[in-house]
Each structure stands twice: as C-alpha cells, then as structure tokens.
Amino acid sequence: MGTALAVHLLKRYSTVRSTLTAYEDGLPQRKLSQVLEYVQTYLDQDIKLVDLAELTGMSQYYFCRLFKQSMGVSPYQFVLQQRIERAKQLLQQKELAIADVALLCGFKNQSHLTTLFRKSTGVTPRIFRNL
C-alpha cells in the first residue's frame, strides 16, 4: 500500500513538474496563437486581462508573466500596439472619419486614439493620414 501511494505521488508530481517546465520560456505556441487570434478578432472591443487569462486556463499573474516572456511586452502593451497598427491601416481610407477609426480600433473616443497614437508614433492621426 505504501509503495502504491509513493508511485502514485511520484507520477502525479512528475506530471506537474513537466507541465511547469514547458512554460519556462513563455506561453506554449498553441495558447499564444489562441490569444493572438482572440486579440485580432475582438480588437474593436474592450479586451480584459481576465478574459485572456481564462482563454489560456491560467491565473492573470501567471499569464502576464508568460505572455511577456513570449512577446517581450505586457498584454496591455501588445493590445495597444495592435490597435495602433490597425488605426494606421484604417487611416489610409480617407473616407473614414478619425472618430470612426478610433471606435473600430477599440479606443473609447477620438481623443483617446489621438493621445495614444501620438505617444506611439510621434504624430497625430490626422498628420499621419496626410503623410
């Protein structure tokens, strides 16, 4: 009975140990792909850290650590970068108002887009559009 218990505990401990070591260099590729796809799909909406963590089945703290190891930036910074990149693409469509671009990229309003866009690129969305 004691040997069976020891074997059971070793098997269980070994499984947990190998699972943890799989995450040492960041998120597993499958989970990272799920997160990146989710961000692209819902970029125009409010993306919460809790939703991304739940998607991977991890705590928010652990997800943030592994995401940053994988991508080099926090989940918030990554989402912001993606929103700015989408705004750059949409700003090329001159028929779209800048306020509409802001909403399509998940910013609360045009002012929010302008502030973060200028901080990221050094120019306002209007100047970027006219370049």
The pLDDT tens digits for 86-118 are 999 999 999 999 999 999 999 999 999 999 999
Domain extent for 90: 79-130
**17 domain residue, yes or no:** no
CATH code, 98: 1.10.10.60
Name the residue among 27, 30, 26, 52 with its Cα closest to residue 40: 52
The pLDDT tens digits for 9-48 are 445 554 444 344 345 578 999 999 999 999 999 999 999 9
**67 domain residue, yes or no:** no
**5 domain residue, yes or no:** no
Looking at the 3D structure of the chain, how many domains does it have? 1
Name the residue among 64, 70, 62 with its Cα closest to residue 27: 70
Contact 83, 107 (CB under 8 A): yes
**111 domain residue, yes or no:** yes
Q: What is the pTM of this model?
A: 0.78
**24 domain residue, yes or no:** no
